[in-house]
Chain A
Amino acid sequence: MSMRIGVVTFPGSLDDRDAQRAVRIAGGEAVSLWHADADLHGVDGVVLPGGFSYGDYLRCGAIARFSAVMESVVKAAHDGMPVLGICNGFQILCEAHLLPGALTRNQHLHFRNRDQWLRIESTGTAWTAGFEAGQEILIPVKNGEGRYVADARTLDELEGEGRIVARYVRGNPNGSERDIAAVRNEAGNVVGIMPHPEHAVEALTGPSVDGLGFFTSVLAHLGAHA
């Protein structure tokens, strides 16, 4: 039986369809979840996609955090359900305190949209177990507020506990502290990533198919724990 991965649509989400497509290409069943519906419809994992939830009117992710679906996602995440936040989804996970730190305006103030090399630093997560540690991957980055910040103590903890999941290599697109592109929670079921693996799952439309590994990883993880 194929695993069911929910993709949440908030008002202002942009990449929900691409995330659903990535789940399907990886071999899973994509389930559409709605921001105002607290029911997770029995999914095995959740993706919070990129975009501008609620217009990012106050701060990126700040209002989405209080949506009905997020109450259920936070509870499920604490119970071990795999959750991946991409771009705006990463911002929402930080605002919901599922991940430490915050995402702020790019250091140079420009919106940055390009293909970006990352180095996978932690394979101890539900979403990256299929990569090799140190593997370099090429996926698109597109953000205006993607600069990862946290206080020095938190950054040291993340480094010490191996919770930095990916770093930017060959250039840092937004001034993120310590070149951080992705982090995870202690348990490894919750990952936030600023670049977009869901846009790199087919040779026709992406710079590579490196992003597929996030989706095949979670399906393998769920299969092994079923």
Chain B
Amino acid sequence: MARVVVDVMLKPEILDPQGQAVVGALPQLGIENVRSVRIGKHIEIEFDGEADLDRAREIADKLLANPVIEDFTLRVEELEEADR
């Protein structure tokens, strides 16, 4: 088994009201030095056998992210022997 991790984030120019809501809540925790919070999605794709980056990129581009408003990054995650 192999795991590919996809991180999907709103493009920098797209407003993230969810992140803004978190920033707005931080003073209640006594935290005053946070300028910005942006919220995205972290997706773990597990393949039978070897990590198939091309396939993972296709999944991310067609389904997981909307390229109009979101960017994504891909990386292969090394698994511990016990997880394989």
Chain A residues near B (Cβ < 8 Å): 58-59, 62-63, 66, 94-95, 100-102, 104-109, 147, 149-151, 175
Docked complex Cα distance between A106 and B64 (Å): 21
Interface SS of A by simple majority: loop
CA A95 to CA B18, docked complex, whole Å: 21
CB proximity of A184 to chain B, nearest CB, Å: 17
Contact B68 A101 (CB under 8 A): yes
B26 within 8 A of A: no
11 pairs from A and B in contact (CB 8 Å cutoff): A94-B68, A101-B68, A102-B68, A104-B10, A104-B69, A105-B17, A109-B18, A109-B21, A149-B14, A149-B68, A151-B13
Instruction: Please name the residue on chain B nearest to A175 by beta carbon.
Output: B15
Taking CB atoms, residues of chain A closer than 8 Å to B13 are: 151
CB pair B68–A107 under 8 Å, yes or no, is no
> Chain A nearest CB: distance from B78 CB in Å?
27
Task: Say whether A95 contacts B15, CB under 8 Å.
Answer: no
Question: Are A66 and B63 in contact (CB-based, < 8 A)?
Answer: yes
Contacts of A150 in B (CB 8 A): 68
Cβ of A104 and Cβ of B15 under 8 Å apart? Answer: yes
Chain B, 1-34, contact with A by CB distance < 8 Å: what is the 0/1 string? 0000000001001110110010000000000000
Is the beta-carbon distance between A62 and B63 smaller than 8 angstroms? Answer: yes
**Nearest 10 CB-CB pairs, A to B?**
A102-B68, A102-B69, A109-B17, A105-B17, A107-B17, A102-B66, A59-B66, A109-B21, A149-B14, A149-B69
CA–CA, A166 to B66, complex, Å? Answer: 24
Residues of A within 8 A of B21 (CB): 109
The residues of B that contact A94 with a CB separation of less than 8 Å are 68
Is B17 touching A106 in the complex (CB atoms < 8 A)? Answer: yes
Contacts of B66 in A (CB 8 A): 59, 62, 95, 102
Q: Which of A59, A66, A100, A108 contacts B17 (CB 8 A)?
A: A108
Per the bound structure, the CA–CA distance linking A175 and B16 in Å amounts to 12
What's the Cα separation between A59 and B69 when bound, in Å? Answer: 11
A98-B21 Cα distance, complex, nearest whole Å: 32
Question: Of all chain B residues, which has the CB nearest A150?
Answer: B68
Report the bound CA distance from A151 to B70 in whole Å: 12
Once the chains are docked, how many angstroms separate the CA of A29 from the CA of B66? 35
Docked Cα-Cα span, A94 to B64, in Å, equals: 15
User: What residues of chain B lie closer than 8 Å to A105, measured between beta carbons?
Assistant: 17-18
Interface 1/0 per residue, B59-75 and A, CB below 8 Å: 00001101011000000
Closest approach, in angstroms, between the C-beta of A215 and any C-beta of chain B?
A: 29
Residue of B nearest to A95 (CB): B66
